[in-house]
Chain A
């Protein structure tokens, strides 16, 4: 027995925890999602490898939706604000999230960045994640949907090599299709790869440069607004929406 406080011998106590390691992030993501839905903002987590054409896709989206929808964006990058600068030049109010050494965005980073951009009045908030096909996949940011940009030059087998990333994709956008004439692109191989890692793969094929496929992309975005509006009606009442 301890002479100081009278406690007994130390003993080992097993404690069952069963908690997700990402519990804190999940909590932050739920908080972000609540904010986005309350303001009827469709948040899109746009992921893909460096150079997949994420920024170019958003620039083309801004051209397509100018005067029709209000866009805003957060651009994650290890260093520089170049992507955010490009998006601002394209007319999208944007804030950069410079992560330093972090290879992904998390819910807290997104939350902090929201204080630096006028997002509540927007129709869409695009969160352009750090270019990386591994780490960003497992972090919920509070988005309404995950989109993975895959360029035609990256190879049809990318989904098989990075199954965790593609499994989280609500939509895969195949980019840079204006380059297809100079490539031996195997469509069957891509579709087979997607079917092996995503239960119900959805693929849209675009060229930000020529504008081909941008209509389908915008249509998909607009479809995301419908359930969100319905949810707002049921959760906060029609009066809140009309106010």
Chain B
């Protein structure tokens, strides 16, 4: 249930950005979560819906995107097929994770007033 802790971190980051931009409201948040991030997407959304009342995100839509799991050879950078040993079949070198574990706040859409 660390998803609740992650949502608290998300709300803090959004608040910081909103304050820095003098925003009056937050319309949309986009968060990228990889399959190896250790985050349950449904729990994450539920935690957001439960936590946002009373915050600047109370009406903001949460958009979740994902990324592919990408293991690469640390030597030749060849893609390592999933489902087998995490070793390069050519170099016999252990793979490195190049993608798939992200928990990243990508973008916020803020409502601001333009001074004229």
Contact = CB atoms under 8 A, between A and B. Distances in A.
Interface of A: 1-2, 5-25, 101-104, 106, 134-135, 137-139, 163-165, 167, 192, 195-200
Contacts of B24: 10
B104 A11 contact: no
Contacts of A13: 21, 23, 109-112
B114 interface: yes
A157 to B, nearest CB: 14
B86 A196 contact: yes
Contacts, number: 124
Contacts of A15: 17, 21, 107-110
20 contacts: A2-B113, A7-B116, A8-B113, A9-B114, A11-B113, A12-B110, A17-B13, A18-B106, A19-B13, A20-B102, A21-B10, A21-B105, A23-B9, A25-B9, A101-B1, A137-B38, A138-B103, A165-B38, A195-B87, A198-B86
Given A138-B2, A164-B38, A196-B85, A19 B116 contact: no
A199 B17 contact: no
B5 interface: yes
A225 to B, nearest CB: 23
B116 to A, nearest CB: 4
Interface residues of B, number: 45
Contact of A102 (B5, B31, B95): B5
Interface string B1-23: 11001100110110001000101
B66 to A, nearest CB: 15
A196 B5 contact: no
B1 to A, nearest CB: 5
A191 to B, nearest CB: 10
A196 B38 contact: no
A6 B113 CA distance: 10
B116 A24 contact: no
Given A15-B21, A19-B13, A103-B2, A7 B107 contact: no
Interface of B: 1-2, 5-6, 9-10, 12-13, 17, 21, 23-25, 27, 31, 36-39, 71, 83-87, 94-97, 101-116
B50 to A, nearest CB: 14
A23 to B, nearest CB: 7
Given A12-B111, A103-B2, A22 B103 contact: yes
Contacts of A165: 38
A19 B104 CA distance: 5
Most buried by B among A11, A15, A18, A167: A15
Contact of A17 (B6, B17, B23, B114): B17
A167 B97 contact: yes
A197 B113 contact: no
Given A10-B113, A167-B97, 10 more contacts: A11-B114, A15-B21, A17-B13, A23-B13, A106-B5, A164-B38, A164-B101, A195-B85, A196-B84, A197-B86
A18 B13 CA distance: 11
Contacts of A14: 107-110
Contacts of A18: 104-106
A1 B87 CA distance: 63
A200 B94 contact: yes
A13 B96 CA distance: 37
Contacts of A5: 115
